[in-house]
């Protein structure tokens, strides 16, 4: 087996998804702790310590204690090279999460044991379902009072429509949390509360058959309850089937506490045993296999100003096949240009390491002079292939942007265009009284705060946002056949253009869309931009 094939086969690339505050970022940090990538985990909320989570690098994230952008983190563990894509939990950033899931081979779903499946978990799970990727569940916060374990599993099965297979089983919760029962080893692993920022403490393992020791460790009541639950579990839960897991129809479930660092390494080991090396990807020429094809990749994220001092733009690429060499020439398919990728780097939150090589499954960041767009394909110069595009979500909230200092027009235009190219916002222009007005569309209203914050802090431009009542957006598909000036609309309709000059219509009410179509025979409207 060649070194290239060996390197690809030891890659594991996964995204972490959850509802806000389920403990996703804390879990990510503990993974990094085991991989030796960090020596001390930072408290996400930053109350106990001034440190912040490694994966939250933007100033606004540190202030609010939430993840706004997806971070990419790589570490080595037990012979594997692991790429973690940490995603924003907040629903207002679901578009960024969707794009990130396009770059992952599997997903780790974090659920709060006291809350079960929450609204955002449902939404993100649907996205995973659309991709058919394997999902591994970590039920977190057992150090606090939790819901009944059978109810939690039932919740996952009913709410998400996926079968569950518990890998281990919790013994109590909150003050009564005694540890977990490992179903494969048939032993109880005792709970030991370790210091928040350090690795796991010494845990005692007791075979389930050794009843005397077991009762001595967890007490008679907990032992009786556990033995009864194990009997019920063995008769009622789904059989473990790796094929079903890899098809995204069965989720293995582990229990633990990321904060006190119990059960994290147990979960990581099980996860690595079950998950796959990089998966083949569909391109317009058919399925591209990671180990049987030369270098190819696609852009799934663009981030401006990760380094304030350099004012740079980084395009994040998921390598789909082969080996990347920093000296090689590649083809940017959409731009039809042969080029060298500038400053290829591995990114650890906001820290960077220049790379000379990388393999299928890896995520690399490259300097983007403004040529890449989300969804672009990169391949060898002789190849002719393009990966499936990444759909754009239609914005649901709109606001007019007023620039407070008109002398800073240049910085304003540059800033708003760069942030729009990242895919977080969409910008539209309208002509009013000879002036070009800028309208911003977002999927979630929190994006407005991020836009305002970033324009002020990264581009030194102050803005005022005026909310607009529009809720529906439609592109004009047959724009060549339509005379925009003569378009008969409704009183709640606004004509605008997107960044590429395509005409669009904004509506306050959904019924206005049908009325506009009735009044303009031959007009074709669509919810997505085709180019």
- Checking DSSP bridges between strand 313-321 and strand 187-190, what pairing results, if any? unpaired
pLDDT of 285 reads 93
CB 66 within 8 A of CB 89: yes
**DSSP designation for 389:** P
- Cα-Cα-Cα-Cα dihedral sign, residues 288, 293, 296, 300: positive
pLDDT of 193 reads 64
Nearest of 415, 427, 417 to residue 453 by alpha carbon: 415
**Residue 270 sits in the same domain as residue 287:** no
Q: How confident is the model at residue 94 (pLDDT cuts 50, 70, 90)?
A: low
**Residue 438 sits in the same domain as residue 324:** no
**Residue 485 sits in the same domain as residue 360:** no
CATH number of residue 480's parent domain: 3.30.70.3280
- Reduced to 3 states (helix: H, G, I; strand: E, B; else coil), residue 407 is helix
**Residue 259 sits in the same domain as residue 113:** yes
pTM metric for this prediction: 0.76
CB 351 within 8 A of CB 362: no
**DSSP designation for 357:** E
**Residue 112 sits in the same domain as residue 238:** yes
**Residue 112 sits in the same domain as residue 255:** yes
Q: Please count the other Cβ atoms lying within 10 Å of the Cβ belonging to residue 520.
A: 17
More confident residue, 221 or 201: 221
- Reduced to 3 states (helix: H, G, I; strand: E, B; else coil), residue 126 is helix
pLDDT of 502 reads 83
Q: How many distinct structural domains can be found in the chain?
A: 3
Q: How confident is the model at residue 370 (pLDDT cuts 50, 70, 90)?
A: confident
Residue length, the chain? 531
**Residue 240 sits in the same domain as residue 106:** yes
- Checking DSSP bridges between strand 296-304 and strand 397-403, what pairing results, if any? unpaired
**Residue 222 sits in the same domain as residue 288:** no
pLDDT tens figures, 19-47: 778 888 888 888 888 877 554 444 333 33
- Reduced to 3 states (helix: H, G, I; strand: E, B; else coil), residue 159 is helix
Q: How confident is the model at residue 69 (pLDDT cuts 50, 70, 90)?
A: very low
Distance CA 29, CA 260 (A): 12
- Cα-Cα-Cα-Cα dihedral sign, residues 312, 362, 56, 87: positive
Strand ranges (E), 404-462 = 426-432, 435-442
Residues 6+ apart with CB under 8 A from 413: none
Q: Please say which residue of 347, 379, 411 terminates a domain.
A: 379
Q: Tell me, yes or no, whether 42 lies in a domain.
A: yes
Q: Tell me, yes or no, whether 322 lies in a domain.
A: yes
Q: Tell me, yes or no, whether 141 lies in a domain.
A: yes
Q: Please say which residue of 345, 379, 413 terminates a domain.
A: 379
Q: Tell me, yes or no, whether 205 lies in a domain.
A: yes
**Residue 480 sits in the same domain as residue 456:** yes
Distance CA 451, CA 453 (A): 5
pLDDT tens figures, 108-132: 999 999 999 987 777 778 777 777 8
pLDDT of 49 reads 36
| φ/ψ bin of 8: left (φ > 0), alpha (ψ from -120 to 50), beta (otherwise) | alpha
Distance CA 504, CA 520 (A): 15
**Residue 269 sits in the same domain as residue 322:** no
**Residue 260 sits in the same domain as residue 297:** no
Max avg pLDDT among 232-236, 379-383, 517-521:
379-383
CATH number of residue 93's parent domain: 3.40.50.300
Q: Tell me, yes or no, whether 183 lies in a domain.
A: yes
Domain extent at residue 360: 281-379
Q: Tell me, yes or no, whether 78 lies in a domain.
A: no
pLDDT tens figures, 210-220: 989 899 988 99
**Residue 489 sits in the same domain as residue 351:** no
β-partners of residue 315 are: 302, 366
Q: Please say which residue of 229, 256, 274 terminates a domain.
A: 274
More confident residue, 460 or 501: 460
Scanning 135-219, the segments in alpha helix (DSSP H) are: 149-160, 211-218
β-partners of residue 439 are: 400, 428
CATH number of residue 336's parent domain: 2.40.30.10
pLDDT of 95 reads 65
Q: At what angle do helices 211-218 and 220-236 cross, to 10 degrees?
A: 120
- State the average pLDDT over residues 135-162: 94
Q: Tell me, yes or no, whether 389 lies in a domain.
A: no
CB 471 within 8 A of CB 434: no
Q: Tell me, yes or no, whether 1 lies in a domain.
A: no
Residues 6+ apart with CB under 8 A from 261: 30, 33, 194, 196, 198, 199, 200, 201
Max avg pLDDT among 56-60, 133-137, 427-431:
133-137
Nearest of 173, 196, 187, 319 to residue 256 by alpha carbon: 173
């Amino acid at each position: 087996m060649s070194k290239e094939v060996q390197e690809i086969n030891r890659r594991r690339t996964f995204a972490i998804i959850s509802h806000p505050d389920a403990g996703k970022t804390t879990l990510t940090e503990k993974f990094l702790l085991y991989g030796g990538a960090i020596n001390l985990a930072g408290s996400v909320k930053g109350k106990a310590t001034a440190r912040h989570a490694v994966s939250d690098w933007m100033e606004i994230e540190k202030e609010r204690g939430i993840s706004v952008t997806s971070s990419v983190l790589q570490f080595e563990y037990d012979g594997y090279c692991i790429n973690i894509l940490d995603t924003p939990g907040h629903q207002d950033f679901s578009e960024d999460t969707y794009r990130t899931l396009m770059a992952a081979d599997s997903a780790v779903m974090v659920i709060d044991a006291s809350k079960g499946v929450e609204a955002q978990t449902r939404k993100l799970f649907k996205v995973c379902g659309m991709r058919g990727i394997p999902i591994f569940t970590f039920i977190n916060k057992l150090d606090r009072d939790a819901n009944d374990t059978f109810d939690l599993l039932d919740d996952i099965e009913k709410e998400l429509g996926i079968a569950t297979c518990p890998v281990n089983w919790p013994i109590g919760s909150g003050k009564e949390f005694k540890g977990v029962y490992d179903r494969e080893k048939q032993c109880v692993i005792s709970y030991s509360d370790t210091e928040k920022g350090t690795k796991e403490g010494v845990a005692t393992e007791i075979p389930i058959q050794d009843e005397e020791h077991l009762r001595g460790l967890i007490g008679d009541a907990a032992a009786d309850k556990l033995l009864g639950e194990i009997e019920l579990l063995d008769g009622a839960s789904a059989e473990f089937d790796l094929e079903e897991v890899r098809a995204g129809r069965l989720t293995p479930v582990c229990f633990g506490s990321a904060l006190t660092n119990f059960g994290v390494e147990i979960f990581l080991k099980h996860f690595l045993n079950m998950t796959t090396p990089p998966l083949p990807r569909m391109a317009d020429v058919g399925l591209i296999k990671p180990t049987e094809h030369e270098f190819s990749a696609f852009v799934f994220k663009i981030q401006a100003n990760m380094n304030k001092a350099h004012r740079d733009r980084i395009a994040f690429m998921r390598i789909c096949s082969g080996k990347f060499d920093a000296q090689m020439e590649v083809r940017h398919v959409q731009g039809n240009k042969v080029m060298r990728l500038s400053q290829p780097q591995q990114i650890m939150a906001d820290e960077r390491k220049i790379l000379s090589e990388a393999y299928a499954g890896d995520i690399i960041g490259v300097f983007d002079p403004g040529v890449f767009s989300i969804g672009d394909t990169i391949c060898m110069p002789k190849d002719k292939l393009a990966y499936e595009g990444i759909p754009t979500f239609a914005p649901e909230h709109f606001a007019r942007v007023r620039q407070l200092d008109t002398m800073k027009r240049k910085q304003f235009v540059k800033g708003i265009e760069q942030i729009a190219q990242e895919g977080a916002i969409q910008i539209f222009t309208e002509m009013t009284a000879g002036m070009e007005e800028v309208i911003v569309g977002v999927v979630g209203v929190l994006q407005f705060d991020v836009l305002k914050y970033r324009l002020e802090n990264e581009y030194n431009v102050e803005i005022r946002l005026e909310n607009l009542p529009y809720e529906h957006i439609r592109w004009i598909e047959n724009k060549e056949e339509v005379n925009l000036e003569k378009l008969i609309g409704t009183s709640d309709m606004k004509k605008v253009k997107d960044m590429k000059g395509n005409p669009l219509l904004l509506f306050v009410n959904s019924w206005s869309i049908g009325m506009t179509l009735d009044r303009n025979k031959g007009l074709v409207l669509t919810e997505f931009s085709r180019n």
